[in-house]
Amino acid sequence: MATTSPLLLDREFLKTLEQVTLLCRTNLSGAVGPEHRSRTRGPGMEFADYRRYSFGDDPRSLDWSAYLRLGKLFLKIYETEQHIPVRILLDRSESMDFGDEGESKFLYAQRLAATFAYLALLHLDTTAVIPFADRLQKPLVVSGGRERLWPVLQFLAEQSCGGATDLFASVKEFMSGFPSRGIAILISDFFDEQGCERAVEMLRSAGHDFVLLQIHSAEEQHPSAAGELILEDAETGMQRTVECSPQSTALYERRFQEFSARLRRLAIRNGGRYARAVTNIAYQEFVLRSLRSGQVLA
């Protein structure tokens, strides 16, 4: 794995990100602050809805204009802006060291991790970048605004690929290290021999608002090789001799689609969100279009 440049994001893109917010779908309790949008109703600046007044409500939130028009008491509800911890779990296993024409999956994942970290810092949230493979690596926890992005970029640049993937062990370790609920963004190719169901269920049971971000290359989706090949698994070292014919390639592609679909279903079933990124698509485009339309970002 080649070391990446600390400058993972370009300035124009960072400027664009100032218009973007990381969405949180779950009602998470956190320190109230002015920046972050959540579905929690409470004191805030952003009007969200009306509801009928009931005893015990704060009379300061009554809409007197509505009372004058309708003769009924309505309470104005605002969206509470809270400090929600954003945890970015970055897969650095050996299988991430593949990609298309110089843009490896890991580099792509690093860029996305940097993007999410910047978004969190932009809204004064605390963010943690947690690399993992078969177990959790030493994380980086930063807060305090956009000026703190540089340590994140440096930290990401120091990371390299190695080891096999063990999602369950890594998530389990994450749970013990980060007990408070927050947004958990899991960036990985999810090529775990043990499967990722238990890990996702554990995230759900802990009450995290999680996002599964699957990254793969175009070659992994549509292998272009032909003829007889001795394939070696980058993580396990196992070998298999196969004949790459149109027939076998079609079978491969079908298996890959099934895997992605299963992962998506798993995320949705457990109340999380899912996104799939192909490394031959520019990460800026993926962030600004795909993640926005998928309500990961707003």
DSSP helix/strand/coil, 164: coil
Q: Which is nearer to another protein, 119 or 153 (CB)?
A: 119
Place of tokens 């956009």: 146
Instruction: Provide the CA 218 distance to its chain's centre, in angstroms.
Output: 20
H or E stretch at 35 = strand 31-52
Query: Considering only residues 3, 54, 224, 247, which one is a binding residue for another protein as defined by CB under 8 A?
Result: 247
What span, in angstroms and rounded, lies between the C-alpha atoms of 25 and 167?
23
Only one of the segments 30-38, 40-48, 55-63, 250-258 lies at the binding site for another protein (rule: CB under 8 A); that segment is 250-258
Return the C-alpha torsion angle 117, 118, 123, 125, nearest 10: 30
| 290: contact with another protein by CB under 8 A | yes
CB 249 within 8 A of CB 224: no
Among 71, 81, 76, 67, smallest CA distance to 33 is for 81
| 254: contact with another protein by CB under 8 A | yes
| 39: contact with another protein by CB under 8 A | no
| 27: contact with another protein by CB under 8 A | no
| 194: contact with another protein by CB under 8 A | no
Question: How many residues bind to another protein according to rule CB under 8 A?
Answer: 63
Among 58, 65, 61, 67, smallest CA distance to 49 is for 61
Place of tokens 């078969």: 134
Interacting residues with another protein between 91 and 120 (CB under 8 A): 94-98, 105
Q: For residue 188, which phi and psi values (nearest 5 degrees)?
A: -165, 165
| 298: contact with another protein by CB under 8 A | no
What span, in angstroms and rounded, lies between the C-alpha atoms of 77 and 52?
10
Query: Considering only residues 252, 270, 284, 298, which one is a binding residue for another protein as defined by CB under 8 A?
Result: 252
Among 120, 131, 112, 111, smallest CA distance to 86 is for 120
| 137: contact with another protein by CB under 8 A | no
| 42: contact with another protein by CB under 8 A | no
| 1: contact with another protein by CB under 8 A | no
Among 212, 190, 217, smallest CA distance to 88 is for 212
| 185: contact with another protein by CB under 8 A | no
Only one of the segments 16-24, 119-127, 146-154, 247-255 lies at the binding site for another protein (rule: CB under 8 A); that segment is 247-255
Query: Considering only residues 63, 134, 201, 233, which one is a binding residue for another protein as defined by CB under 8 A?
Result: 233
Only one of the segments 136-144, 152-160, 199-207, 257-265 lies at the binding site for another protein (rule: CB under 8 A); that segment is 257-265
Residues 272, 273, 278, 279: is their CA dihedral positive or negative? negative
What span, in angstroms and rounded, lies between the C-alpha atoms of 97 and 225?
18
Q: How far is the CB of 267 from another protein (least distance, A)?
A: 6
Q: Which is nearer to another protein, 82 or 95 (CB)?
A: 95
| 277: contact with another protein by CB under 8 A | yes
| 45: contact with another protein by CB under 8 A | no
Q: Which is nearer to another protein, 53 or 252 (CB)?
A: 252
Binding site for another protein (CB under 8 A): 94-98, 105, 189, 191, 193, 217, 220, 225, 227-236, 238, 240-243, 245-248, 250-262, 264-265, 267-268, 273-278, 281, 286, 289-291, 293-296
